[in-house]
Amino acid sequence: MKAQVSPRFEVSFTTVVLLISVGALITVSSILMYLSQSVSHDAIRRETLRLLEVQSQSGRLFLDTELAFAGLQVRQLSADPRVLETVLNDDPRSFRNIAGLPEFGLLNGKIDLFMITTLQKEFWATARSPFSTSDDLLESALEQTWEEGKWRLAAGKMPGSDGVPRIAAFITLPLVDRQLGHVTGLLHGSFPLSHNFKLATGLRDAMQADGVILSQGNNVLVSTYADREKSRSLVDSFRLR
């Protein structure tokens, strides 16, 4: 004869199963919510870094030039958490030590000028690097309108190792807190341009620059700007030579 299970026991067993199911559902929901928030923060960080990567990809078109080599150095510094800490401290002396860059000639394809800009008390404060060798170039750079990841021309002249002034270009990159994905400051790098027409036009087009000028002393060799004294641009004049 089969044993009979009382209805009371069946009700109690069903209640226990329901309670366990509800508890498990709440636990799983909490875990999923926590994971979704964590994934959301990670997604923000990944998207921020991806956008910065997209901005820097065009610079890799010039890997065989001294300009690209200097540009990659700027990007590496902007991703360095120690540089980020220095920007927050707004200490140019500390920045020089952290960067590990000695004072060297301006025509060796390396970066020669840095500025640090941080957002403090609702205004942008600029700290000058101790290894800046030309106040004129620095002041010219400050007058330019910056856009993230785009090359801009600094109109000031910087003396080269041979005593001949050079016109330099500079790039502005955002400094990003890798934990939060927030932009906490801007990193400016400057370096001399080569006397190369292909490089000048490539910079203007690929980097979406306003224009590029390559010069030797006071003599402009190549320019993507229009010449005010002539009906044709300096680029066309260069092509006719």
- Please report the pLDDT score of residue 8 as a whole number: 47
pLDDT, tens digit, 9 for 90 and up, residues 96-130: 323 344 323 222 233 333 333 333 333 333 333 33
Confidence of residue 193 (pLDDT cuts 50, 70, 90): very low
- Please report the pLDDT score of residue 69 as a whole number: 47
Pairing relation of β-strands 151-159 and 213-216? unpaired
Q: What is the mean pLDDT of residues 233-237?
A: 44
Question: How much is the pTM?
Answer: 0.27
Can you give the chain as a three-state secondary structure string? Answer: CCCCCCHHHHHHHHHHHHHHHHHHHHHHHHHHHHHHHHHHHHHHHHHHHHHHHHHHHHHHHHCCCHHHHHHHHHHHHHCCHHHHHHHHHCCHHHHHHHHCCCCCCCCCCCCCEEEEEEEECCEEEEEECCCCCCHHHHHHHHHCCCCCCCEEEEEEEEECCCCCEEEEEEEEEEEECCCCCCEEEEEEEEEECCCCHHHHHHHHHHCCCCCCEEEECCEEEEECCCCCCCCCCHHHHHHHC
Tell me how far apart the terminal alpha carbons of the chain are, to the nearest angstrom.
114
pLDDT at 135 over 50: no
Can you name the residues that pair with 165 across neighbouring β-strands? 159
Q: What is the mean pLDDT of residues 179-191?
A: 52
Lowest-confidence region among 7-16, 68-77, 149-158, 208-217: 149-158
Tokens standing for 71? Answer: 């540009």
- Please report the pLDDT score of residue 141 as a whole number: 40
Q: What is the mean pLDDT of residues 68-73?
A: 48
Count of CB atoms situated within 10 Å of the CB of 153? 23
**What is the C-alpha to C-alpha distance for residues 196 and 224, in angstroms, rounded to an integer?**
12
- Please report the pLDDT score of residue 85 as a whole number: 53
**What is the C-alpha to C-alpha distance for residues 92 and 29, in angstroms, rounded to an integer?**
49
- Please report the pLDDT score of residue 29 as a whole number: 63
pLDDT: which is higher, 146 or 30: 30
Confidence of residue 156 (pLDDT cuts 50, 70, 90): very low
Q: Please provide the average confidence, as pLDDT, over all residues in the chain.
A: 46
Determine what percent of the chain is predicted with pLDDT higher than 70. 0
**What is the C-alpha to C-alpha distance for residues 89 and 83, in angstroms, rounded to an integer?**
10
Asked if 172 contacts 148 with a C-beta cutoff of 8 angstroms, the reply is yes
Which domains does the chain possess? Answer: 55-240 (3.30.450)
